[in-house]
Chains A and B, each alone.
Chain A
Amino acid sequence: MKNDGVKIIKTTTWSPGPGCHGGCGILVHVKDNKVIKVEGDPDHPWNQGRLCSRCLSMTQYMYHKDRLRKPLKRVGERGEGKFEEISWDEAFDLIEEKMKKIRTDYGAESVIFHQGTGRDIGGWISMLAYAYGSPNWMFGLSGISCYTPRLMMMSITQGDFAVVDASQWLEKRYDDPEYKIPEIAIIWGQNLPATCPDGFFGHWYVDLMKRGTEFIVIDPRCTWIASRAKIWLQLRPGTDAALALGFIHVIIKENLVNMDFVEKWTNSPHLVRTDGKIPIFLKEKDIKKDGSDLNFVAHDAVSGDFMVWDSTAQAYDKTGAKPSMDGAFTITLADGSKVPVKTVWTLYKENAEQYTPEKVEDITWVPADKIRQAARMYANAKPGALHWGLPIDTIPSTVPTSQAINHLWCLTGNLDNPGGNAIARYAFDVVTYPYHSGGAILSLPPEVMNKRIGIHDYGCIKDFRAWAQPDKVLEQIFSGSPYPIKGMWIQTANPIACTGMEPQKWHKAIKKLDFTVCVDLFMTPTAMLCDVILPAATFLEKDSLKAWWVPLQAIKKVVEVEECKSDIEINLELCKRFMKDFPFPNTQVLFDSLLKSAGITYKELVDNTWMLPPKGHPSKPYFRHERGLLRPDKKQGFRTPSGKIELFSSWLEKWGLDPLPYHEEPPYSHISTPDLFKEYPLILATGRRMGPFFHSEHRQIPWLREQQKDPVLEIHPDTALKYGIEHGEKVCVENWLGKITVKALVTPVIHPNVVMAEHGWWFPEKKGSEPELFGVWDVNVNQLIPMGHEGKAGLGSPIKSMLCKVYKAKG
């Protein structure tokens, strides 16, 4: 306590508030139970005293006049904007009554639990969905196109997630002697200073730049980092897989593969049958009558015999053997028939052979020479880091694309090494927000989980992540088949303005339901359509915890703002009402239970504020595959079916997908839809980040909104000239699905054949009731992007590679 009555409290950030994926340490200045200032905590290793504009605006956010402060009940027609304030008891009673009725009449699966992006919600909304009994926990972005495809692909390739090591696991950061500054960092599709994505602080790259890291930037836009990069590759949106395969081609052709690493740690010697239409693994069961389906086969270069890779023992069944990396063989199966087989490595090289830099230039527009230069530069770097962004998720071919890019750090041995791509686990294995199908607070019986929407359509939806598939959910709301959808619980999401593609359809869908609840901090176009609206607390008004990836940290309740309640408290109260014997009487008991793997209580975490895992802990780098820290059996290797990095993927094979990476043309393009292209000759990309705003948030915060008043469309000067468009004037962006009117931002940073529209726009200052809905229909670019174009795996959607035309708006 200082003399002037100001108390300074140390805590850490997440949402709600700055909106982002959180992580920063802050010092909160409190006077008379009111937050008067927020500053960066200089002792926190994540941000080291810095803090971004959105967090520095927290006082305007928390005490905004339009902030929802009491629960609201709809009294007029849906969307009419007539609400009545009710007490929390009335709100909980009403929700309990309506949702229990749906459960009784139609089954719990008839309610969808709909969340937004990586906010502090995953643990708590899944807890509520499962306490209620619904398996339909969902993130509403078409094709779950935000990090999940990359997470899935990383998880099945090397058994773990990996992110660039910017020394975030080390308390002394860049100064720790164990750390190495990356010589080269590839930034693949992300404008880092404008964002802190996927549990990463964007400005760490500026720290690295100052310390000598050189950059290769892959982006259709010239970002700030791109303009300072050694090489900037301005690719055609949606062709990232071809570019990655071009890199792989060069790395193999020019002998830049880290062969020691590939031989030792990947499944490259395992044999694949090439007698069928698509290659599949040769398993022990194919060659031995009682052989296992889990064990693989390789060729021994020493004896010339075939041998079995025992996935359980993590060893070959022959001592003194050396598996052949290359080769095509004929093998006799258990039934006596003979089949041709090849090693994964031989097949892998044949696959990459097709993607010559010249062919890749035709596909991607990136000059062949630049592809060669960039591939060499990355492969020769020691260490080389590879950072990738959302555009890898927002294409229907996200699976082969993520796979090809993931392979780059595997082929060069930049995995779990200092300054490369480090394996990222929840700190201390504490799961507050499950990114894969395990780790939820509650669980449902298999027969209930079997009703999850999308589970029968897509293998990886079934096996990898517990979310319902959103494109299939929307379809089912209208079809009512195989069972009707009657309610939706919307929390940390604004599908009408942001996460919903074809928001026209989400609008109809939400209005069609019997009962909808929205939990938010402000009235939004989505909340306006709901029956009950609950006022959520910011991160300064709640207790919580975070382990994405490190540190493990406490979020502390500093003040209260009127009747706002935290998402956790709201969900906890309803869990008690929906589930008999719900095991957690309060948040403290819940948090203590989540912290068991860390061996501490929530109070101890609060006292420490943040904690980094100690050396030797499985959630601390480096080289954990060598030290037996990744697998449950503590053997060397990885948490994959074979224990190796699977360049040829057994999971993809299991799901009926191509086990090797390939290029797939975006669904709308001059090649895929030449007739549409004649009428809509520009590629429409969306979603580039805006510093002052996080997705659809912050348009009502004065300090942030003054940074940018209106949504813009980036258009190249040559293109603008061609269409008679001047900087700052209003233009229509139109395609066969819809039309918006925004301001032209004429700028050379964008490719002449591409326009970039901003996402998430609505106008809190405009009329909220229907039909206006805060002007969302005038500017929401998602109206030009379809639902139902998810990729073959149920993941990915064409969010950044649509087609459109642009013309001067009348009047």
Chain B
Amino acid sequence: MTEYGMLIDYEYCTGCKTCEIACKQEYERPAGKVGGVEVLEFVHTLPNDKLFITNIPHFTRACVFCAGRVKQGLEPACVKHCMARILTFGKIEDLTKLIPEKRKAILWTKG
């Protein structure tokens, strides 16, 4: 079976949370419960006193990698709508090859 994953170019995640709502719309998920993704924000004061803001989309247990959409040849809802275009969905082996091109990336797999 092919293993799929999500490559997150987190350097450019602005924390707009579009991915969260795209997921909720796609699956008509109720408010008040987490959907397939939640964006985590870190405001760090680095050792040189520089402030740095990092956002990371965290894919939850509820994420199904939009199997239904993918079967129709569509991108997962979060990938499609991401305002900063930081998400790439695909086969893990293909995504691994993309990593050196990216500045800062996380490869999310479901196991």
Is A747 part of the contact surface with B, judged by Cβ < 8 Å?
yes
Question: Which residue of B15, B20, B25, B81 is within 8 Å of A50 (Cβ)?
Answer: B81
Contact A50 B85 (CB under 8 A): yes
Is B43 part of the contact surface with A, judged by Cβ < 8 Å?
yes
Which of chain A's residues have a CB closer than 8 A to the CB of B45? Answer: 748
Is A52 part of the contact surface with B, judged by Cβ < 8 Å?
yes
Distance from B49 Cβ to chain A, minimum over Cβ atoms (Å): 10
Q: Which of A472-480, A591-599, A701-709 contacts B (4 or more CB under 8 A)?
A: A701-709
- A–B complex contacts, Cβ < 8 Å, 11 sampled: A38-B25, A40-B81, A49-B81, A50-B18, A51-B18, A194-B16, A224-B14, A691-B17, A702-B30, A703-B20, A705-B31
Bound-state Cα–Cα, A52 to B14, Å: 12
Which of chain B's residues have a CB closer than 8 A to the CB of A37? Answer: 25-26
Contact B30 A57 (CB under 8 A): no
In the complex with contacts A206-B84, A224-B53, A702-B32, A52-B16 CB distance below 8 A:
yes
Contact A222 B16 (CB under 8 A): no
Contact B82 A222 (CB under 8 A): no
**Which A residue's beta carbon lies closest to that of B39?**
A707
Question: Which residue of B17, B18, B51, B82 is within 8 Å of A748 (Cβ)?
Answer: B51
Bound-state Cα–Cα, A707 to B16, Å: 10
Contact A702 B31 (CB under 8 A): yes
Bound-state Cα–Cα, A304 to B25, Å: 73
Which of chain B's residues have a CB closer than 8 A to the CB of A703? Answer: 20-21, 24-25, 31
Which of chain B's residues have a CB closer than 8 A to the CB of A53? Answer: 16-18, 20-22
Which of chain B's residues have a CB closer than 8 A to the CB of A749? Answer: 43, 51, 53
Instruction: Tell me which of A37, A38, A193, A704 has the highest count of chain B C-beta atoms within 10 A of its own C-beta.
Output: A193
Which of chain A's residues have a CB closer than 8 A to the CB of B14? Answer: 193-194, 203, 206, 224
Which of chain B's residues have a CB closer than 8 A to the CB of A38? Answer: 25
**Which B residue's beta carbon lies closest to that of A691?**
B16
List A residues 677-711 near B (Cβ within 8 Å).
691-692, 702-707
Bound-state Cα–Cα, A691 to B30, Å: 20
Bound-state Cα–Cα, A207 to B9, Å: 13
Which of chain B's residues have a CB closer than 8 A to the CB of A673? Answer: none
Bound-state Cα–Cα, A207 to B15, Å: 15
Is B107 part of the contact surface with A, judged by Cβ < 8 Å?
no
Contact B51 A206 (CB under 8 A): no
List A residues 188-243 near B (Cβ within 8 Å).
193-194, 202-203, 206-207, 209-210, 222-224, 226-227
Contact A56 B21 (CB under 8 A): yes
Bound-state Cα–Cα, A55 to B22, Å: 10
Is B80 part of the contact surface with A, judged by Cβ < 8 Å?
yes
B20-45 Cβ-contact flags toward A at 8 Å (1 or 0): 11101110001110000000000101
Is A39 part of the contact surface with B, judged by Cβ < 8 Å?
yes
Is A769 part of the contact surface with B, judged by Cβ < 8 Å?
no
Contact B25 A193 (CB under 8 A): no
Contact B43 A747 (CB under 8 A): yes
Bound-state Cα–Cα, A53 to B55, Å: 16
Question: Which residue of A39, A50, A692, A706 is within 8 Å of B83 (Cβ)?
Answer: A50
Prevailing SS type, chain A contact patch: mixed
**Which B residue's beta carbon lies closest to that of A59?**
B25
Report B's interface with A, CB cutoff 8 A: 12, 14-18, 20-22, 24-26, 30-32, 43, 45, 50-53, 55, 80-85
Question: Which residue of A203, A222, A692 is within 8 Å of B17 (Cβ)?
Answer: A692
Contact B20 A193 (CB under 8 A): no
Known A203-B84, A224-B14, A748-B45; further 11 A-B contacts with Cβ < 8 A: A37-B25, A51-B22, A51-B81, A52-B83, A53-B17, A53-B21, A206-B84, A209-B12, A703-B25, A704-B21, A749-B51
Which of chain B's residues have a CB closer than 8 A to the CB of A203? Answer: 14, 16, 83-84
Prevailing SS type, chain B contact patch: mixed
Question: Sorted from nearest, which 8 A-B pairs have the closest CB atoms?
Answer: A702-B31, A193-B14, A53-B21, A203-B83, A706-B31, A56-B21, A222-B51, A227-B53
Contact A227 B52 (CB under 8 A): yes
Contact B17 A707 (CB under 8 A): yes
Question: Which residue of A50, A57, A705, A748 is within 8 Å of B43 (Cβ)?
Answer: A748
Contact A56 B25 (CB under 8 A): yes
**Which B residue's beta carbon lies closest to that of A206?**
B84
Contact A56 B81 (CB under 8 A): yes
Contact A39 B30 (CB under 8 A): no
Bound-state Cα–Cα, A49 to B83, Å: 9
Contact A193 B84 (CB under 8 A): yes
Contact A224 B55 (CB under 8 A): yes
List A residues 16-43 near B (Cβ within 8 Å).
37-40
Distance from A789 Cβ to chain B, minimum over Cβ atoms (Å): 32
Contact B32 A56 (CB under 8 A): no
Bound-state Cα–Cα, A51 to B18, Å: 7
**Which A residue's beta carbon lies closest to that of B14?**
A193
Bound-state Cα–Cα, A692 to B31, Å: 13
Distance from A596 Cβ to chain B, minimum over Cβ atoms (Å): 36
Bound-state Cα–Cα, A463 to B36, Å: 54
Which of chain A's residues have a CB closer than 8 A to the CB of B81? Answer: 39-40, 49-51, 56
Distance from A38 Cβ to chain B, minimum over Cβ atoms (Å): 7
List A residues 701-739 near B (Cβ within 8 Å).
702-707
Which of chain A's residues have a CB closer than 8 A to the CB of B43? Answer: 747-749
Bound-state Cα–Cα, A691 to B84, Å: 14
Question: Which residue of A50, A224, A705 is within 8 Å of B82 (Cβ)?
Answer: A50
Bound-state Cα–Cα, A29 to B30, Å: 20
Question: Which residue of A56, A193, A747 is within 8 Å of B15 (Cβ)?
Answer: A193
List A residues 53-86 near B (Cβ within 8 Å).
53, 56-57, 59
Distance from A507 Cβ to chain B, minimum over Cβ atoms (Å): 31
Which of chain B's residues have a CB closer than 8 A to the CB of A50? Answer: 18, 80-83, 85
**Which B residue's beta carbon lies closest to that of A702?**
B31
Distance from B56 Cβ to chain A, minimum over Cβ atoms (Å): 13
Distance from A17 Cβ to chain B, minimum over Cβ atoms (Å): 14
**Which A residue's beta carbon lies closest to that of B11?**
A228
Bound-state Cα–Cα, A223 to B14, Å: 10
Distance from B38 Cβ to chain A, minimum over Cβ atoms (Å): 11
Bound-state Cα–Cα, A222 to B50, Å: 10
Contact B51 A193 (CB under 8 A): no
Contact B18 A52 (CB under 8 A): yes
Contact A206 B83 (CB under 8 A): yes
Which of chain B's residues have a CB closer than 8 A to the CB of A707? Answer: 17, 20
Which of chain A's residues have a CB closer than 8 A to the CB of B21? Answer: 53, 56-57, 703-704
Contact A57 B25 (CB under 8 A): yes
Which of chain B's residues have a CB closer than 8 A to the CB of A40? Answer: 80-81
Bound-state Cα–Cα, A706 to B53, Å: 22
Instruction: Tell me which of B21, B30, B32 has the highest count of chain A C-beta atoms within 10 A of its own C-beta.
Output: B21
Bound-state Cα–Cα, A11 to B50, Å: 44
**Which B residue's beta carbon lies closest to that of A52?**
B18
Contact A56 B22 (CB under 8 A): yes
